[in-house]
């Protein structure tokens, strides 16, 4: 009877913890969705303004004639077109992020609905267990019950640690690919500067496009990793600026896209990406160490339970 109640309680506590976690994530995603929608509106307005500036400069006017005489028109026009390209890229990035957040919100909502009223289920099992304890008490059974409850809590936390590790590993993979293609772009960029011609330039741009895809993928995956880290921040030993992790791609889009032909920009973006890659690897190493430690603690509890059942004596000190 008591073993069945304990198994039910551990199961429902796990569900309850998941529901609380998903509801918290849902609030965060909805807030992020609102911010992203505002960003899209601002970028659309800015894009329209930037495109109008380019059209003015390309049209026949006294201003164009004067700029041509001064030899600055083409330089000004190139700058304006670069600004249009930057805004367009940011807008596409924001729209893609919005679609991904919408999809995640839908998935979380469905998962929460599938759990049903787990709060009432937990309360019901807890009351049944309380009645059983009142009717069947002994020092050994009480101590064993505490061990079982502690084990359940640790297993639930271990699952969350593993989910964070899984999410971080995906970010790590994307950053590794981004570094790989930025390295290739850097190499072809050097060849381009030495007179490689149109083919080397095209290859360089191809690698930069692939790097951009993986940077976006990393940023998208970072969103989930950030949420997973936030869920365990109070219980895990995490020394990292969690909100800052989500913003790392700003430099990439503001700097590198501004002028693909400037070799220094590729090197700067490569250095930035490598820095964030190292940071994610350090966080992952920390989390994996905590996973190992938590598994060790769970095994210690299992051993203590076995000793308590066999001898009626225990020495576990977590709740003394």
- What band does 314 get if pLDDT is binned at 50, 70 and 90? low
Q: Which residue has the tokens 């929460």?
A: 112
Residue 260 DSSP label: T
Q: Tell me, what's the pLDDT at 111?
A: 92
pLDDT digit string, tens, across residues 212-233: 888 888 888 888 888 888 878 7
* 168, 280 contact by CB (below 8 A): yes
Instruction: List the beta strands (DSSP E) in the chain.
Output: none
CA nearest to 166, candidates 214, 227, 234, 94: 227
pLDDT band with cut points at 50, 70 and 90 for residue 149:
confident
Q: How far apart are CA 34 and CA 31, in angstroms?
A: 5
Full-model pTM: 0.69
Q: How confident is the model at residue 262 (pLDDT cuts 50, 70, 90)?
A: very low
Say which residue, 204 or 244, is predicted with more confidence.
204
Q: What percent of the chain has pLDDT over 70?
A: 69
Does the pLDDT of residue 296 top 90, yes or no?
yes
Residue 292 confidence (pLDDT)? 92
Residue 256 pLDDT exceeds 60 = no
The mean per-residue pLDDT over the stretch 245-259 comes to 51
The burial class, CB within 10 Å (0-12 / 13-18 / 19+), for 300 is: middle
CATH architecture assigned to 1-137: Orthogonal Bundle (1.10)
Residues 12-46: b if buried by 16+ CB within 10 A, e if exposed: bbbbbbbbebbeebbebbeebbeebeebbeebeeb
Q: Measuring CA to CA, how many Å separate 262 from each of 85, 201, 206?
A: 16, 12, 15
- In 3D space, the residue among 128, 224, 121 whose CA is nearest the CA of residue 172 turns out to be 224
Mean pLDDT, rounded, for 32-37: 90
- Quick: pLDDT tens for 165-216: 999 999 999 999 989 988 888 775 554 444 555 555 567 778 887 888 888 8
């Amino acid at each position: 009877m008591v073993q069945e109640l304990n198994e039910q309680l551990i199961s429902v506590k796990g569900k309850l913890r998941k529901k609380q976690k998903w509801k918290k994530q849902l609030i965060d995603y909805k807030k992020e969705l609102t911010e992203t929608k505002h960003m899209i509106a601002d970028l659309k307005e800015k894009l329209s303004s930037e495109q109008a500036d380019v059209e003015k400069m390309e049209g026949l006017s006294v201003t164009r004639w004067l700029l041509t005489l001064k030899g600055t028109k083409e330089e000004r026009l190139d700058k304006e077109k670069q600004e249009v390209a930057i805004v367009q890229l940011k807008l596409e990035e924001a729209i893609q992020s919005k679609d991904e957040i919408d999809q995640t919100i839908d998935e979380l909502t469905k998962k929460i609905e599938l759990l049903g009223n787990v709060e009432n289920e937990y309360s019901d099992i807890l009351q049944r267990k309380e009645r059983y304890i009142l009717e069947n008490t002994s020092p050994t059974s009480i101590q064993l019950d505490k061990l079982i409850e502690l084990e359940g809590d640790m297993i639930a936390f271990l699952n969350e640690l593993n989910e964070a590790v899984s999410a971080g590993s995906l970010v790590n993979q994307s950053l590794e690919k981004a570094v790989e293609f930025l390295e290739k772009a850097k190499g072809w960029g050097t060849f381009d500067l030495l007179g490689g011609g149109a083919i080397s330039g095209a290859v360089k741009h191809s690698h930069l496009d692939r790097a951009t895809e993986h940077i976006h993928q990393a940023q998208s995956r970072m969103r989930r990793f950030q949420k997973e880290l936030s869920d365990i921040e109070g219980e895990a030993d995490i020394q990292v600026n969690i909100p800052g992790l989500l913003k790392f791609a700003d430099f990439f889009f503001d700097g590198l896209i501004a002028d693909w032909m400037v070799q220094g920009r590729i090197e700067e973006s490569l250095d930035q990406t490598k820095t964030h890659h190292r940071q994610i690897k350090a966080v992952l190493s920390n989390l994996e160490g905590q996973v190992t430690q938590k598994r060790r603690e769970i095994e210690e509890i299992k051993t203590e339970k076995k000793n308590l059942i066999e001898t009626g004596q225990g020495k576990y000190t977590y709740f003394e």
